[in-house]
Structures are given as C-alpha cells and as structure tokens.
Homo-oligomer: A and B are copies of this chain.
Amino acid sequence: MKNFSISFPTEIWFGKNQINNLGRLIESYGSKVLFTYGGGSIKKNGVYDRVVKILEKKKLQFYELSGIQPNPRIESVREGIKICKDNNLDFILAVGGGSVIDCSKTIACGFYYDGDPWDFLLAKVRPQKALPLGVILTISATGTETNGGAVISNTKTQQKLTLMSPILKPKFAILDPTYTMTVPAYYTAAGIADTMSHAFEQYFSSVQNTYLQDRLAEAVLKTCVEFGPKALKEPNDYHARSELMWASTLGLNQILGLGKNFGDWATHEIEHELSALYDIAHGIGLAILTPHWMKYVLNDKTIDRFVNLAKNVWGVEESNDKFAMAQESIKRTQEFFKSLEIPTSLKEINIGEENLEKMANRFKKIGLVKKLNNEDVLNILRAAL
C-alpha cells in the first residue's frame, strides 16, 4: 500500500426530500446565488420549481445559468463567471449531473482568476480560491458531487481536459435517489457504466498489497451488477436507485484508489479524446473501450486482479487456468454492458477509422497498469471499432 493523504469534507445529504435542508445550507455560505442547470429536465421533473420556491422563501437573490450541455463547454464556464462577477455573487448551486457540476466547479475558481478559465484546464494556473458550491445531483454517474475534479470541453481546440483541486470539492451534496427515476434508460445505463469504469480504473493498478481497497471496489462493482438491471427494468425502484446513487458517489470520491496512486485512468483519457471529437455520452464511450483496454493489458503481471474480478464480482468458478478466468471476467464485463443495451463497438455509434490515428497521436504515455504509447492506444481504438 502506498502512502496517501485524503479528506472527504463534502456534507452529504442522502435520501428522500433532503432538499428540505437546501435553504439552511445555502444560507450558511452566501446570499447571492448562481443557480446552474442543464437542458431543462429539472423543469419537467419538478426539481426546478422546488429549488426556486426555496430560494424565494429564504429571500436568496439568484441568477440562472441554464443550458449547460453534456460534455460541458468552456463557453458556459465563461458565461457563468461573467454573471458571478457582474453581480458580485457569493455562492453557486449546481442542479444536475456531472456536466452541470463540473462546469460550476470551474466557474467557482474562475471567479477569482483574471485570465481565461481554460488556463486551469491547460494547467497553466492552479485554483487558489473558489466560490462555495452546493450541488443537487439528478443522475448517478460521475461521482463529481463529492470530489475535486472537473472535465471541460473546448470545441475549438477539440480538447476535453481535466482539472483537479481539493478546493473544488462541493460544500454539500444533496443526493435524492427519486430525482434519478426520470433519467431515460440509455443515460441510466451510461451512468452505471461510468460508475463501473471508475471502480475499474482504481481497481486495476500497478500497486499491489491493497486488499481492503480491492474489496471496496468489488463492492461498488457488485452493487452496479445487482441493481443496474433492476433500475432499468423498474425505473421507480427506490432501492435500486439508491444503491446506484451511493455506488456512483463512492465510485469516485477517491476512496477506492487510496494507497494505489489513485488508479490507472488510461481508459478515461482515451475516452475523453472520443467524446471531445464526437460529443458522445461519456459512459457509453467507457463501456465500449473498457473490455478492449482490459484485453490489451492482461498479462502475467496484471492477471491476479482479473482473476479476483472473475471470482468476486462475476461469480466465475475457480479453476487452475488463471488466463481462462481472466478472459472470462473480461467477457462478462462486456456482456453485462450489452445486457444494459449499451453499444459495444464504435461502429454502433457511427465512429469509424477516420480519426483514430489522430486521436491516438495525442498520447505519449498514459496509464499505470501498463504504460501505453500512441501505438498502443491506436490498437485499443481499432479493437473497439
């Protein structure tokens, strides 16, 4: 186990009607609020009205930034910063999924920076200070609700980059599983794949001797395997939705990657290239790529965790043929995604050979489990066609 340092300061309010705490929570941080959200699904499911009523009742002044897109754009960040600066706002409330929250995190630190916020993504500057941020999560997927990460896209440069800083961790996160009941099946499935991918990225590691962390990652994976199909079959199954929501938060609050240098993340890096260029749902890209990444990195050094995955998550019977067990675990992973009606090849989402080389050439060395260069990445992308 490697050394690590961590804290999980975000106040989590999990369960039905936890939004009742919203007014009091915001008041303890500020009084002039930027209220951010996406394409308007929160207007359909009633969350928007509930939030507005609370803000009005508490006499909290608020400004809206709406229309934040999946794979959120740096333009939305700039727009949000401008509203905050123009009106001297002191709090951000993000209501939505990963895109809305990531955009809001970048606004939060951009508020205190005079340059262009894309500089944070390019790692030209580090966030020094950030507006306090509270979130109401409406889709189980990214885990961003309690971590310090944000992924932002730049359509001009065709880049999708990640910003990480502990000061971006939200002050509070309201996690009400009922809000996820109206998420369409396709995005519910993409969210499950996203959560599982986070567990995989941290499970597979060049670091050995992390028994407890490995069992925790398996717990998150098993939860997705057990309750993913249930939530798709019965979207209003509160138990299934609550398990998936809590799994998605633990999937990326970093607890699974402690003592393991926080994980591999090569699959995520490759997927970010895909969704930067094709604007696909992140979870779908991950589900397509993961089994091919697994096949590519399976070797004598990495086999033990594949065997554990087979035994402990997929219930594969133990045998002396470790490679057969490992291959079976990869097969089951892909079959599970398929059972959620997720596409399992790039072709199915209309991506062909045309840009694969260009994408692969962006990489020099990624990953920890096995260092991948641009040729390796190209091989993985081609296998995923």
Chain B residues in 8 Å Cβ range of A18 = 3, 5
Q: Do A6 and B12 have beta carbons less than 8 Å apart?
A: yes
* A350 and B250 alpha carbons, distance in the complex (Å): 45
Q: Do B12 and A9 have beta carbons less than 8 Å apart?
A: no
Within 8 A of B (CB), among A11-31: 11-18, 21
- Given A212-B246, A226-B211, A239-B209, verify A11-B5 contact (CB < 8 Å): yes
Question: Is A60 close to B, CB under 8 A?
Answer: no
Pick the contact of A227 from B14, B21, B211, B222 — CB < 8 Å? B211
- Given A212-B250, A227-B211, verify A7-B10 contact (CB < 8 Å): yes
- Given A4-B15, A7-B12, verify A223-B250 contact (CB < 8 Å): no
* A11 and B4 alpha carbons, distance in the complex (Å): 10
**A220 nearest CB neighbor, chain B only:** B212
Q: Do A13 and B5 have beta carbons less than 8 Å apart?
A: yes
Question: Is A185 close to B, CB under 8 A?
Answer: no
**A13 nearest CB neighbor, chain B only:** B5
Q: A3-B15, A216-B219, A246-B258 are in contact. List 20 more A-B contacts (CB 8 A).
A: A1-B242, A2-B15, A3-B18, A4-B12, A5-B12, A5-B18, A5-B21, A6-B11, A8-B8, A9-B9, A14-B259, A15-B259, A209-B239, A211-B226, A212-B246, A212-B250, A213-B246, A215-B222, A215-B223, A242-B259
Pick the contact of A215 from B1, B213, B219 — CB < 8 Å? B219
Pick the contact of A246 from B21, B246, B259 — CB < 8 Å? B259
Pick the contact of A223 from B2, B4, B9, B212 — CB < 8 Å? B212
Chain B residues in 8 Å Cβ range of A135 = none
**A239 nearest CB neighbor, chain B only:** B209
Tell me the minimal C-beta distance from A347 to chain B in angstroms: 35
* A259 and B212 alpha carbons, distance in the complex (Å): 21
Chain B residues in 8 Å Cβ range of A259 = 14-15, 242, 246
20 contacts between A and B (CB under 8 A): A1-B239, A1-B246, A5-B14, A6-B11, A7-B8, A7-B9, A7-B12, A8-B8, A8-B9, A211-B226, A212-B219, A212-B223, A212-B247, A213-B246, A215-B218, A215-B219, A215-B222, A219-B219, A246-B258, A246-B259
Pick the contact of A14 from B11, B226, B250, B258 — CB < 8 Å? B258
Interface string of A236-257 (1 = CB under 8 A from B): 0001001100110010000000
Q: Do B216 and A1 have beta carbons less than 8 Å apart?
A: no
Within 8 A of B (CB), among A189-248: 209, 211-213, 215-216, 218-220, 222-223, 226-227, 239, 242-243, 246-247
